[in-house]
């Protein structure tokens, strides 16, 4: 069964990179560019994993993660924060918001597939 990953990213170049990396690994990719779209897309598509940019227009990625974790339909989907604004304590904030992990940008294309695979349950 093909794993479905929701990518939430407002930067078109970053979205293209992540989409391409995921598709090369055989994942089905769903996309959203705002926190609000992320919540709707997650409820609708029930992905196996959500990769969430932290800096988003409207509600940010951490707020969107808290919404997802508070909804029984999406509460068990792992959310991994993606951000280029890696400040001391950001990883702690992401975990407190309910994220399962944290990946900093720029994305290391070599290690990225391994980084996300650990958040997906085996077949």
Q: Which of the residues in the chain have pLDDT under 70?
A: 85-87, 123
Own/partner pairs for 61-65, CB < 8 Å, 24+ apart? Answer: 61/8, 61/35, 62/93, 62/94, 62/97, 62/99, 63/35, 63/97, 64/8, 64/35, 64/36, 64/38, 64/39, 65/94, 65/97, 65/98, 65/99
Question: What is the extent of the structural domain holding 72?
Answer: 4-117
The reply to whether the predicted model has a pTM over 0.75 is yes
pLDDT tens column, 50-65 = 999 998 989 999 999 9
The CATH number that applies at residue 69 is: 3.40.50.2300
Residue 123 placed within a domain:
no
Residue 35 placed within a domain:
yes
């Amino acid at each position: 069964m093909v794993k479905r990953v929701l990518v939430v990213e407002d930067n078109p170049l970053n979205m293209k990179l992540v989409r391409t990396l995921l598709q090369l690994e055989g994942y089905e990719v769903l996309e959203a560019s705002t926190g609000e779209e992320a919540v709707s897309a997650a409820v609708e598509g029930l992905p196996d994993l959500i990769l969430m940019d932290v800096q988003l227009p409207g509600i940010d990625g951490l707020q969107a993660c808290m919404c997802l974790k508070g909804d029984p339909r999406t509460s068990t989907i792992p959310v991994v924060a993606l951000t280029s604004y890696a400040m001391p304590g950001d990883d702690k904030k992401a975990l407190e918001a309910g994220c399962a992990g944290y990946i900093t940008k720029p994305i290391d294309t070599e290690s990225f597939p391994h980084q996300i695979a650990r958040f997906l349950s085996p077949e």
